[in-house]
Structures are given as structure tokens and as C-alpha cells.
């Protein structure tokens, strides 16, 4: 879902930076506060970040004959909410744009906005609304799935806003459908795999840690 380096016009690159920066800044502060509050949070933040690292390194083949990778933001958003997820995603996206030529510095703001902010925000909303009615794992599955899918919808929209098929709203929508055709179809099955992995890991995490059970409101 990373928009490639240089593939957004300057004005859009700046605009997405402007949207992403305050959220990432707040997430950084919140992360620092969590670590300071309780030592045990440190290991859970590490595990949430590690999940993003692993999953966004897996380029999975999909039915369309192309490959794409999951986002891995599900665990972080379930444990700590969207702001911390934004901060952790930024670290991963920086690693990939600097060392892998994957994504880019000019498109970092846009990529953080899609994968780190809006995707997780929707995932979190779904988690919050589903959680009272089901168990932790099913809620996490839904959150990770929605966060993944939303990320790619946002990426398509970002590209469409910068490259409308024709001036005006209908051109943007046309383009968005074009880009969704590239991303979303590849991403549908990958989102499901991502949800299953996140659900599996959250089960283990909640088993191994009392403080996580308390945080998540799970009675063991």
C-alpha cells in the first residue's frame, strides 16, 4: 500500500504530512507516557511494533496474480489505540523507505495517514463496537481485517485525489475505482490472513499477561 517515492505531487505530499504529523507526535508522547507509567507496557509496545514489522515484510501472493503485504496494525490498535499505532507504523515505514526503497520520504506523510492513522482508526472503531458482543479474538480479527482493508481504500483515494481521471469529483471517483481495482482485490484475501494472525497472537498475549487482560477487559 505504499505510494512509491515521488509519486505524489508536492502539494499533496505536504498536505498528508500536515495531517499525519500531529497524530504521530501525539502518539509518540502517548507511547512515552505508557512506558513511563508501567514497565510492563514496554514489552507490549515492543510486541505490537514487532507484529507490524513482521507482517509488513511479508509480501503475500494473492488471487489477482500480484503480491502485496498486510499492514500488521491490528495488535497495536487493539492494545493501545490509533495514536500509538500511528507512531509505531511511522517507524516501520521509515525503515522501508530508507533501507528498502519501498514507499518513500516524500510519500511518507500519505503512507502514515493511510496505514498508521485512518486504517487503524476504523479498525479501532470496529473493535470498540464489536467487543461487547463477542470474544477478544473475534473482535481482534475484525479490527485487523478492517484496518487492513481501510488502509488500501485510503491509499487508492489518496492516489485518486492527486491523479483524477478528469477534473472534478467524478474524475476522482473514477480514478479511485481504478486504483482500488489494483489494490483492493489483491488485498481482500490478505486482509483475512492478517486478521487470523492477529487473532492468534492476541490470544497468546492475553494468556501470558495479567496486565493485558486488565487493559482489554478480558476475564480469564
- Interface with another protein in residues 80-99 (CB under 8 A): 92, 95-99
3-state secondary structure of 105: coil
- Gap between the Cα atoms of 170 and 164, Å rounded: 8
- Gap between the Cα atoms of 69 and 126, Å rounded: 21
Cell numbers at 189, concatenated: 484475501
Residues of this chain, 12-41, that bind another protein according to CB under 8 A? none
Judged by CB under 8 A, which of 85, 89, 106, 140 binds another protein? 106
Contact mark string toward another protein, 179..218, x via CB under 8 A: x--xx--xx-x--xx--xx-xxx-xxx-xxx---------
Task: Output b/e per residue, 167-191; b: 16+ Cβ within 10 A.
Answer: eeeeebeebbeebbebbbebbbebb
Binding window for another protein (CB under 8 A); candidates: 17-25, 56-64, 124-132, 143-151: 56-64
Binding window for another protein (CB under 8 A); candidates: 19-27, 30-38, 47-55, 113-121: 47-55
Judged by CB under 8 A, which of 40, 62, 91, 188 binds another protein? 62
User: According to the binding rule CB under 8 A, does residue 10 interact with another protein?
Assistant: yes
Q: Which is nearer to another protein, 8 or 23 (CB)?
A: 8
User: According to the binding rule CB under 8 A, does residue 2 interact with another protein?
Assistant: yes
Query: Closest Cα to residue 22, out of 112, 102, 104?
Result: 112
Residues of this chain, 146-165, that bind another protein according to CB under 8 A? 155, 159, 163-165
Judged by CB under 8 A, which of 22, 25, 101, 168 binds another protein? 101
Cell numbers at 47, concatenated: 510486541
CB of 219 to another protein, least distance (A): 16
User: According to the binding rule CB under 8 A, does residue 131 interact with another protein?
Assistant: no
Task: Kindly report each contact of residues 105-108 with a partner whose C-beta sits within 8 Å and lies 24 or more positions away, as own/partner.
Answer: 105/5, 106/5, 106/6, 106/8, 106/10, 106/13, 107/2, 107/3, 107/4, 107/5, 107/6, 107/7, 107/8, 107/13, 107/16, 108/17, 108/20
Amino acid at each position: 500500500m505504499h505510494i512509491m517515492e515521488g509519486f505524489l505531487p508536492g502539494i499533496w505530499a505536504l498536505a498528508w504530512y500536515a495531517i499525519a504529523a500531529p497524530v504521530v507526535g501525539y502518539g509518540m508522547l502517548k507511547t512515552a507516557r505508557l512506558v513511563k507509567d508501567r514497565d510492563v507496557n514496554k514489552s507490549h509496545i515492543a510486541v505490537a511494533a514487532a507484529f507490524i514489522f513482521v507482517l509488513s515484510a511479508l509480501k503475500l501472493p494473492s488471487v489477482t496474480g500480484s503480491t502485496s503485504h498486510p499492514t500488521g496494525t491490528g495488535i497495536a490498535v487493539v492494545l493501545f489505540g490509533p495514536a500509538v499505532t500511528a507512531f509505531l507504523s511511522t517507524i516501520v515505514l521509515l525503515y522501508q523507505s530508507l533501507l528498502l526503497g519501498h514507499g518513500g520520504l516524500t510519500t511518507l506523510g500519505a503512507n502514515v495517514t493511510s496505514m498508521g492513522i485512518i486504517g487503524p482508526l476504523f479498525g479501532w472503531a470496529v473493535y470498540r463496537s464489536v467487543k461487547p458482543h463477542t470474544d477478544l479474538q473475534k473482535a481482534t480479527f475484525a479490527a485487523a481485517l478492517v484496518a487492513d482493508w481501510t488502509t488500501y481504500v485510503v491509499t487508492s483515494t489518496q492516489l485518486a485525489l492527486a491523479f483524477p481521471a478528469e477534473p472534478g469529483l467524478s474524475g476522482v471517483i473514477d480514478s479511485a475505482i481504478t486504483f482500488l481495482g489494483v489494490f483492493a482485490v489483491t488485498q481482500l484475501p490478505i486482509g483475512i490472513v492478517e486478521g487470523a494472525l492477529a487473532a492468534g497472537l492476541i490470544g497468546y498475549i492475553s494468556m501470558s499477561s495479567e496486565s493485558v487482560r486488565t487493559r482489554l477487559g478480558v476475564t480469564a
